[in-house]
Amino acid sequence: MAMAELIRRFGPGLGGVILILVALWIVGMVLAPNLMMLNFSLKPNLFPSEIGGPKDQYTLLNYTALFSDPVHRAIFLKTVWGSALVTAITLAVTYPLAFWMAKVASVRGARAMLIALIIPFWINEVLRTLAWYILLAFNGPLNIFLQTLGIIDQPVRWFGDTGVLAGMVYAYILFMLFPIYNSISTLETAQIDAARDLGASTLRIHRRIVIPHAKAGIATGCVFTFMLAAGSYVAPALLGSPGSRWFTEIIYNWFFEGGNWNRGAAYALILLVLCMAVVLAALRLFRVNLADVAK
């Protein structure tokens, strides 16, 4: 149906060219790299002289290694839990803001808030994370501010799990905010006013009217945020500590420090499967389909 609509809209010539370009992009940028990763992950890490020999056979050893290594298994599970926590915190922060921008703020106020949120993201992610590194430093502005207020007596080492969570929530806030804002903005304000006139509380209005209407946007934001958090490398590398390693750091080490691309490919595909499972679970939880998410 989509292909027929494309041909009808743009004609057989331009429509065919668009379909060919899309097919080339999917094959070259999506299928081919993942198939190569799959092939790498099913092969043992061999010396060049051993490639093609009796040891060069397909095996699941690179996959089972994750679950047989207690350290890597713990880091993987921590990444899953940490990504879910980042998603929950980001949702809790952005939902009230999205509702305020869509239904409470004036046009000028909403526009000013959008500009204030977007401008910092014109800067590279690494530089924005370095800004958090400075902010959370042992003698950084946050500790100085808290000491000035008398909240803490000694500087606190924020690096580690706290720093990683804070950096990720900030880094991916727009990916949660915009889908929810777009969904809420399509809700008729008259429905909220009618519910309020009939005596519904604010909590009941959000639970029975706003959230059901915005569930596609909430699902989209949660999926994006979880996937980005699970695949993040910059924030854990700069804001983390030896005790707060992220699974992407393990993958990086296998590829670029350990030189074991086969093990790194297996770990990367396990992370990919995790993200796909989260997408399917989120769609089922919010009772939406991919077409609703794509809108």
> What is the 3-class SS of 219-251, one letter each residue?
HHHHHHHHHHHHCCCHHHHHHCCHHHCCHHHHH
pLDDT of residue 293: 63
pLDDT of residue 6: 65
3 state SS of 194: helix
pLDDT of residue 99: 95
Both structure tokens of 24: 């080339």
Rounded distance, CA 267 to CA 62, Å?
Answer: 8
Is the CATH number 1.10.3720.10 carried by domain 60-294?
yes
pLDDT of residue 120: 87
- Mean pLDDT, contiguous 10-residue spans, the chain (295 residues): 68 78 88 90 85 85 91 93 95 95 91 90 88 89 89 86 91 94 92 90 92 91 93 91 88 89 93 88 79 62
pLDDT of residue 262: 92
* Total Cβ atoms within 10 A of residue 295: 12
Distance spanning both ends of the chain, measured CA to CA: 17
pLDDT of residue 289: 73
